[in-house]
Amino acid sequence: MGYCYPGRGNSGDLPPRRECATLWLDQLLAALPDIELTLLIGLHAQRHFLANRRKSSLTETVRAWREFGPRYLPLPHPSPRNTPWFQRHPWFEDELLPTLRERIASLTAK
């Protein structure tokens, strides 16, 4: 989200720096007007792009992934720190990932 490394904190990377997102995000999106799928990886991306449409937690937002398509797909961050999250939520691998693979295959086949 920040397009520049925010630095390391006590429990991982610090949150994205707002001034970097402000500087780069609008310019990048303006240069890419035909985006058909945006992967919203992590809470910060979900807050920014979904705003008040997101649910009360990352898990609930990701679980409601069907509500945000076809344009957006909320995902948890694939950090090793999130391994317990993936283990507690097998529906992610069983339901969401196959759909994501199909969607990417259809977009890349164009």
> Both 44 and 92 in a single domain?
yes
| Cis ω before 70 (30° cut-off from 0) | yes
pTM of the prediction?
Answer: 0.88
Per-block mean pLDDT, blocks of 10 residues, the chain (110 long):
78 78 84 95 92 97 97 93 95 97 94
Can you tell me the distance from the alpha carbon of 84 to that of 81, in angstroms, rounded to the nearest whole number? 7
- Output the pLDDT for position 85: 96
- Output the pLDDT for position 79: 85
> Both 27 and 40 in a single domain?
no
The H or E element spanning position 74 is strand 72-75
> Both 47 and 95 in a single domain?
yes
- Output the pLDDT for position 108: 94
> Both 91 and 75 in a single domain?
yes
- Output the pLDDT for position 23: 82
Range of the domain at 13: 1-34
> Both 5 and 45 in a single domain?
no
